[in-house]
Amino acid sequence: MRIYLLIITLIVITGFLFFKKEDVVEDISEIEKQKIVKIKKILEQEFSNKLRLSGFTEASRVVTLKAQVEGKVSSKYFDKGSSYKAGKQILLIDPEDKVAKLKEMEALLNQRKKEYEVAENLFEKGFRSEVKLSKSRTNFENALASYERSQVDLNNTKILMPFDSIVEESFVELGDYLKKGDPLAKIVDLDPIFVNINVSEREIKKIFLNQNARAIIADKVYQGSVNYISKTSDSQTRNFKIQVKINNKRNEILSGLSSEVEIQLNPEKAFFIASSLISLDAQGRVGIKVVEEKKVRFLTAKIISDVGNGYWINFDQPIKNKEIFIITQGREYSLDGELVQTQIETND
């Protein structure tokens, strides 16, 4: 009886060990079947994107000076294309008749003033009515207004530069007779100079006043800032107009030049991924393959910027610990959700 029990026990133990060995072999075989991929750790970084836009330069001010009095051009003190400071006299309209008119109005003013003073004195003594006093005061005030107008007309015979600028066009010559409102010269202020740009409704959300900008104009680089953002879009293109202001002390930037502008945007968190590591999933979505807890996971990427040798991207899916382990070798034959073995890539 004991022999039978011993034989049965040996059979049970032998069977248990046999099946356990088979399970271990199966586990080892399963591990051996797992693909081996190389991965690289990439950390989230702060990235400042740039908007790249095109536009044209424009003078900050373009003004046509016009005659405010009639008369003959007696002196001309400017040349077309030259720059002049504010307050510089550039033209003189013959003032002779204006001087005579001013003297006449001054004499009349003195006469009306004396008449008013006499009328006021008599009124205070009761020898002059209030109506006559009022008439004398009106005559004096009219004479004063005429005298002041004559002074203004005389001053307006001297044409002065209203601000630092360049004479772009001249419309008069010596001896020309001018009427009030006739154009004299077109002047242009190039400092500062503006770059006018049209931006889309998607881009306008990223732009704000005083934002730093970099402009490339005629192969030279200039620093500026956003000084104007329109509040309404163009009715046809739906674009918004913005202006970038650039200091132009030497007037070396001309109006009407093509310009390439880069506007620095606020920094944001992103991952830099080499171009060769970008993949497509079965639906054609752009993304990358990473390993999380020994499983392959496809992350759909949102590309922020293409910098030539790679992309700055972020993801709609949450990222643990602000780091990813991207598959650098073996991603072509790795499927989403598949268990894999990993090797950390040591070289950059």
177 or 123, higher pLDDT:
177
13 or 20, higher pLDDT:
13
Residue 28 has pLDDT above 50, yes or no: no
CA 201 to chain centre: 14
Sequence-ordered alpha helix ranges (H) in 34-157: 96-125, 130-155
How far is 211 from 229, CA to CA, in rounded Å? 11
What DSSP designation does 253 have? Answer: S
In CATH, what number does 65-185 get? 2.40.50.100
Report the pLDDT value the prediction gives residue 193, as an integer from 0 to 100: 97
Report the pLDDT value the prediction gives residue 88, as an integer from 0 to 100: 96
Phi, psi values for residue 109, rounded to 5°:
-60, -45
User: Judging by beta carbons within 10 Å of its beta carbon (0-12, 13-18, 19+), is residue 225 exposed, middle or buried?
Assistant: middle
User: Judging by beta carbons within 10 Å of its beta carbon (0-12, 13-18, 19+), is residue 267 exposed, middle or buried?
Assistant: exposed
Residues of the chain with CATH 2.40.420.20: 35-47+268-344
CA 292 to chain centre: 42
288 or 5, higher pLDDT:
288
Residue 147 has pLDDT above 60, yes or no: yes
The residue-averaged pLDDT of 241-249 equals 96
28 or 281, higher pLDDT:
281
Report the pLDDT value the prediction gives residue 24, as an integer from 0 to 100: 42
Report the pLDDT value the prediction gives residue 89, as an integer from 0 to 100: 96
The residue-averaged pLDDT of 63-68 equals 96
Confidence of residue 22 (pLDDT cuts 50, 70, 90): very low
How far is 266 from 304, CA to CA, in rounded Å? 12
- For the chain, percent of residues with pLDDT exceeding 70: 90
Confidence of residue 2 (pLDDT cuts 50, 70, 90): low
Partnered with residue 243 across adjacent β-strands are 196, 228
Q: From residue 197, how far is each of 51, 61, 66, 239 by CA, in Å? A: 12, 17, 31, 10
The residue-averaged pLDDT of 257-269 equals 90
102 or 242, higher pLDDT:
242
User: CB neighbours of 85 closer than 8 A, spacing ≥ 6?
Assistant: 161, 164
Residue type, 215: A
Residue type, 207: I
| 3 state SS of 275 | helix
Of 74, 54, 9, the closest CA to residue 215 belongs to 54
pTM of the model: 0.69
Residues 265-287: tens digit of each pLDDT = 888 889 999 888 888 888 888 88
Could you tell me the fold of the domain covering 51-59+192-264?
Elongation Factor Tu (Ef-tu); domain 3 (2.40.30)
Residues of the chain with CATH 2.40.50.100: 65-185
Confidence of residue 27 (pLDDT cuts 50, 70, 90): very low
Residue 17 has pLDDT above 80, yes or no: no
In CATH, what number does 35-47+268-344 get? 2.40.420.20
Confidence of residue 26 (pLDDT cuts 50, 70, 90): very low
Q: How many CA atoms lie within 13 A of 70 on its CB side?
A: 2
Residues 148-173: tens digit of each pLDDT = 999 999 999 999 999 999 999 999 99
Report the pLDDT value the prediction gives residue 25, as an integer from 0 to 100: 42
Of 166, 158, 165, 147, the closest CA to residue 68 belongs to 158
